[in-house]
C-alpha cells in the first residue's frame, strides 16, 4: 500500500468522523407517550463513571494511558512507514500488517483522547451525538480488525499449504479485495448497531458506568424494548466474531498439519516463525474480546469492566506492533534501518 492510498483512507476517515454525527439524529417512535419523549429529549449528554472509584489516582491514570497511547501511535506508525518505504516488505503479509496497524491507530484514537481530557474534568461528559459517533467508530474498528485477522490467517494458509499457487491466490487484487472487504464488514456491522441504538429510549439515567460508549452500556440505560438490538448483537457475534475465529482455527489446523509434514527441522521452524506473531495477536484480540463481551452478568463490577475494556480497546493495539517487531526479523530490521536514517548526526 502506497503513501497516497493511506492518505486517501485517512482523509475518508476524517470525513466520516466529521459528518457521522448528523446521521445519528434521534427519531422518537410514534407510540411513545409525550412524557417519555420529553424525558428522553432532556438527555443531551452522558456522564462517564469510569475511574470514579479512584478520584485520587486521576493523575496516575492520565500518565499511564498517555504513555500507552503514545507507544501505540509511535509503534503502529513505525510499522506502516517501514512497510511503505522498504521494498522487501511489499508482500501480502506485510500489506495486511500495515492495514492492521492503521486500524489500531484509529481504534485507540476513538476512545483514548476523550478519556485523557476527562481525567482533568470533575464531571466527565460526552454529548449524545459524540457518544454515538464514538460507538460507530469503535464498532467499525473492532469488526474490521477481527475480519482482517482472518484474512491474514488465509494469507499464511496460502503461503504454507499452497506455496506454488501463492502468487495467484494472494495477488495484489485479491489482497485489496480482502482488505476492503474487512473494512466493509466492520462498517456495515457498525451502521446496523448504531442505527438501532438511535431507536433506544433513554429515560432511566444518563450515567454510563464506563469510560467509553459501547452497546451494552447504552442498552442498560434504555427503558424501551431492546430485543431487536440484542438479536442484532447475537447475529453480529456469529458473523463478525465467531466466524472469523473459527476460520482462523481451521486455517491453523491445516497450517500445523502442513508444517509437521516438512522433513527438515529448520524448515519447520521457519514456517512456524512466520505464523507465531499473527497467532499471538489473534489469541490476545479474540481472548480479550470474548472476556469483554461474553462475561456472565454476575461477574460484573466497575473496576473489572474497566480493566477488561482497557485490555481490549487500549492495550491490545499497543501490543500488536511490539509483538510483530519482537518476533519478526524483517520488521525488526526495517525499523532499525528506519531509525538509523532518522538519527541525527553526532548521535
pLDDT digit string (tens) for 284-332?
Answer: 898 888 877 765 554 556 677 788 788 888 888 998 888 887 777 778 7
Residues 87-107 have a mean pLDDT of 92
Percent of the chain whose pLDDT exceeds 90 = 37
Whether pLDDT at 15 is above 60: no
- Residues 6+ away with beta carbon under 8 Å from 186: 139, 140, 141, 142, 143, 144, 145, 146, 147, 240
- Give the C-alpha distances (Å, rounded to integers) separating 328 from 93, 250, 318, 324: 12, 23, 16, 5
In 195-262 the beta strands, taken as DSSP E runs, fall at 207-208
- Per-residue model confidence (pLDDT) at position 159: 92
Percent of the chain whose pLDDT exceeds 70 = 82
Per-residue cell: 332: 525488526
Give the residue with greater pLDDT, 301 vs 171.
171
- Per-residue model confidence (pLDDT) at position 291: 75
Give the residue with greater pLDDT, 14 vs 162.
162
Whether pLDDT at 12 is above 90: no
Average of per-residue pLDDT values in the chain? 82
Q: Hey, which of 47-56, 112-121, 141-150 has the most confident mean pLDDT? A: 141-150
The model's pLDDT over 100-111, given as tens digits with 9 standing for 90+, comes to 999 999 999 999
**Of 182, 214, 167, which Cα lies nearest the Cα of 9?**
182
**159/336 Cα distance (integer angstroms):** 26
The model's pLDDT over 128-151, given as tens digits with 9 standing for 90+, comes to 889 999 999 999 999 999 999 999
**60/63 Cα distance (integer angstroms):** 5
Whether pLDDT at 2 is above 90: no
Confidence grade of residue 36 (pLDDT, cut at 50, 70, 90):
very low
Residues 243-255 have a mean pLDDT of 94
With vertex at residue 69, the alpha carbon angle to CA 68 and CA 72, rounded to the nearest 5 degrees, is: 85
Per-residue cell: 123: 464531571
Q: What is the DSSP letter of 344?
A: P
Confidence grade of residue 209 (pLDDT, cut at 50, 70, 90):
confident
Task: Write the DSSP assignment of 43-95 as a string of letters.
Answer: --EEEE-TTTT-GGGHHHHHHHHHHHHHHHHHHHHHHHHHHHH-GGG-SHHHH
pTM for the structure as a whole: 0.83
Q: Hey, which of 179-188, 264-273, 323-332, 333-342 has the most confident mean pLDDT? A: 179-188
Whether pLDDT at 333 is above 90: no
Amino acid at each position: 500500500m502506497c503513501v497516497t492510498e493511506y492518505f486517501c483512507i485517512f482523509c475518508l476517515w476524517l470525513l466520516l468522523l466529521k459528518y457521522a454525527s448528523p446521521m445519528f439524529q434521534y427519531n422518537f417512535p410514534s407510540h411513545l407517550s409525550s412524557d417519555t419523549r420529553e424525558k428522553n429529549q432532556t438527555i443531551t449528554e452522558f456522564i462517564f463513571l469510569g475511574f470514579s472509584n479512584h478520584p485520587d489516582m486521576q493523575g496516575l491514570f492520565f500518565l499511564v494511558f498517555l504513555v500507552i497511547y503514545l507507544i501505540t501511535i509511535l509503534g503502529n506508525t513505525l510499522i506502516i512507514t517501514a512497510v511503505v518505504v522498504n521494498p522487501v516488505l511489499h508482500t501480502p503479509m506485510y500489506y495486511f500488517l500495515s492495514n492492521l496497524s492503521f486500524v489500531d491507530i484509529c481504534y485507540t484514537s476513538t476512545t483514548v483522547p476523550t478519556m485523557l481530557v476527562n481525567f482533568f474534568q470533575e464531571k466527565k461528559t460526552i454529548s449524545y451525538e459524540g457518544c454515538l459517533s464514538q460507538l460507530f467508530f469503535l464498532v467499525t474498528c473492532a469488526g474490521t480488525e477481527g475480519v482482517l485477522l482472518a484474512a491474514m490467517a488465509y494469507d499464511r494458509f496460502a503461503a504454507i499449504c499452497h506455496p506454488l499457487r501463492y502468487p495467484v491466490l494472494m495477488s495484489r487484487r485479491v489482497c485489496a479485495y480482502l482488505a476492503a472487504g474487512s473494512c466493509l464488514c466492520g462498517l456495515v456491522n457498525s451502521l446496523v448497531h448504531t442505527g438501532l441504538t438511535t431507536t433506544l429510549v433513554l429515560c432511566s439515567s444518563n450515567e454510563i458506568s464506563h469510560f467509553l460508549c459501547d452497546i451494552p452500556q447504552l442498552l442498560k440505560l434504555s427503558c424501551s424494548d431492546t430485543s431487536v438490538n440484542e438479536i442484532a448483537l447475537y447475529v453480529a457475534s456469529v458473523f463478525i466474531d465467531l466466524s472469523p475465529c473459527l476460520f482462523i482455527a481451521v486455517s491453523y489446523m491445516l497450517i500445523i498439519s502442513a508444517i509437521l509434514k516438512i522433513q527438515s527441522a529448520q524448515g519447520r521452524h521457519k514456517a512456524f516463525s512466520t505464523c507465531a506473531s499473527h497467532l499471538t495477536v489473534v489469541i490476545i484480540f479474540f481472548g480479550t474480546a470474548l472476556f469483554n463481551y461474553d462475561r456472565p452478568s454476575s461477574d460484573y463490577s466497575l473496576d473489572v469492566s474497566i480493566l477488561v475494556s482497557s485490555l481490549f480497546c487500549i492495550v491490545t493495539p499497543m501490543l500488536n506492533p511490539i509483538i510483530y517487531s519482537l518476533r519478526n526479523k524483517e520488521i525488526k530490521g526495517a525499523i532499525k534501518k528506519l531509525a538509523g536514517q532518522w538519527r541525527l548526526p553526532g548521535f
